[in-house]
Amino acid sequence: MASVTYDKATRIYPGADKPSVNALDLDIADGEFLVLVGPSGCGKSTSLRMLAGLEDVNDGAIRIGDRDVTHLPPKDRDIAMVFQNYALYPHMTVAENMGFALKIAGVNKSEIRTKVEEAAKILDLTEYLDRKPKALSGGQRQRVAMGRAIVRQPQVFLMDEPLSNLDAKLRVSTRTQIAGLQRRLGITTVYVTHDQTEALTMGDRVAVLKDGVLQQVDTPRNMYDKPANLFVAGFIGSPAMNLVEVPLVDGGVKFGGSVVNISRENLVGAGSDKTVTVGVRPEHFQIVPAGGIEGVAVTVNVVEELGSDGFVYGTTKIGGEDKDLVVRVPGRQIPARGETIHVVPIANETHVFATGSGVRLSVCD
């Protein structure tokens, strides 16, 4: 087992005018489950492939434990990779698929059998060992792909969207299995997904990338509670955080009838901006009776009922302009379409960002 370090690692594809991964700095601890997340094209797969040795590193370095692997071929890095398209060999049985890498490496038959059986037990595949992949369900095939990686007992697991071929329900159960398995095996894992829910539920820590640049690396809790900038605030959380640009007033900002206080020193980050962007998560609105001075009136356009609670998609007027807001409401107090509800942001659950640079401006409590 080993730690993994990206040290200002940069990848510029031939002919490209900017890096696909730009000076990535990331320290992944021994045994950690780190999730790389971000929108399509942000550089997740490239980052992973650089660690795997499948992509050149044009600047900076990559280390596994104390070893500088920047220029080592993939086979010398002691890693195992599970891809989105895990392509099992159709003519081989599950056991042969799982043991194939060991066979190539010249491991003897009985040892291969032992390792494959161990992995099959962990993955609940024992009864399928003699089947061909076409006689398996999507989830079972996915577990065979995991098994291929496990039998090699690598120092690091790399996984690139391994669940994207599975249907929604299977994805949820398999992600729990993978996270549980990783914790049991304790093998350092770098896991790529574009799905922020997957990232938050699986990772010890989550790293958010945008345009090849690392935005924030943090525990799921901190990422959710203290997004470092507007991009992370909008990307992490579903439905997304409400982000509203509001004018700066003396000592703070005004959101509907409520003033969110910001200390003078924190406002320095806003520079010469005349506005800041206030962020409120859908669950951080309190519904108040009509007629109160503080509330903003939200006209309900669409209601999404989820049983335990519901999401109201509505419109309000802030600073004279129409603005869409999403508000979580209790499951038994769902308003009707066309109704107007009044909400206030819950104190100390509001986020403030510089509109220009997007950086978080801490709010005084």
Q: Give contact residues for ligand ATP (rule: CB under 6 A).
A: 13, 16, 20, 38, 40-46, 194
Residue 293 CB, nearest approach to ligand ATP (Å) = 46
The residue (of 194 and 323) whose beta carbon lies closer to Mg ion is: 194
Residue 56 amino acid letter: D
Contacted entry of Mg ion, ligand ATP, none for residue 284, CB cut-off 5 to 8 Å set by kind: none
Residue 20 CB, nearest approach to ligand ATP (Å) = 3
The residue (of 97 and 189) whose beta carbon lies closer to ligand ATP is: 189
Contacted entry of ligand ATP, Mg ion, none for residue 188, CB cut-off 5 to 8 Å set by kind: none
Contacted entry of Mg ion, ligand ATP, none for residue 46, CB cut-off 5 to 8 Å set by kind: ligand ATP
Residue 22 CB, nearest approach to ligand ATP (Å) = 11
Residue 175 CB, nearest approach to ligand ATP (Å) = 17
Q: How many CB atoms lie within 10 A of CB 70?
A: 16
Q: What is the dihedral of CA 118, 120, 121, 126, to 10 degrees?
A: -130
361, 354 contact by CB (below 8 A): yes
Residue 96 CB, nearest approach to ligand ATP (Å) = 30
- The 3-class secondary structure across the chain, one letter per residue, is CCCEEEEEEEECCCCCCCCCEEEEEEEECCCCEEEEECCCCCCHHHHHHHHHCCCCCCEEEEEECCEECCCCCHHHCCEEEECCCCCCCCCCCHHHHHHHHHHHCCCCHHHHHHHHHHHHHHHCCHHHCCCCHHHCCHHHHHHHHHHHHHCCCCCEEEEECCCCCCCHHHHHHHHHHHHHHHHHHCCEEEEEECCHHHHHHHCCEEEEEECCEEEEEECHHHHHHCCCEHHHHHHCCCCCCEEEEEEEECCEEEECCEEEECCHHHHHHHCCCCEEEEEECHHHEEEECCCCCCCEEEEEEEEEECCCEEEEEEEEEECCEEEEEEEEEECCCCCCCCCEEEEEECCCCEEEEECCCCEEECCCC
- By beta-carbon distance, which residue lies closest to Mg ion? 45
Q: How many CB atoms lie within 10 A of CB 65?
A: 16
Residue 326 amino acid letter: V
The residue (of 196 and 350) whose beta carbon lies closer to ligand ATP is: 196
Residue 163 CB, nearest approach to ligand ATP (Å) = 13
- Supply 181's token pair: 């398995």
The residue (of 5 and 20) whose beta carbon lies closer to ligand ATP is: 20
Residue 98 CB, nearest approach to Mg ion (Å) = 25
Q: What whole-number distance in Å separates Cα of residue 26 and Cα of residue 3?
A: 11
The residue (of 205 and 281) whose beta carbon lies closer to ligand ATP is: 205
The residue (of 125 and 208) whose beta carbon lies closer to ligand ATP is: 208
Contacted entry of ligand ATP, Mg ion, none for residue 104, CB cut-off 5 to 8 Å set by kind: none
Residue 104 CB, nearest approach to ligand ATP (Å) = 26
Residue 206 CB, nearest approach to ligand ATP (Å) = 14
Contacted entry of ligand ATP, Mg ion, none for residue 360, CB cut-off 5 to 8 Å set by kind: none
The residue (of 41 and 65) whose beta carbon lies closer to ligand ATP is: 41
The residue (of 131 and 194) whose beta carbon lies closer to Mg ion is: 194
Site for Mg ion in 3-62 (CB under 5 A): 45
The residue (of 43 and 147) whose beta carbon lies closer to ligand ATP is: 43
Interacting residue ranges for Mg ion, rule: CB under 5 A: 45
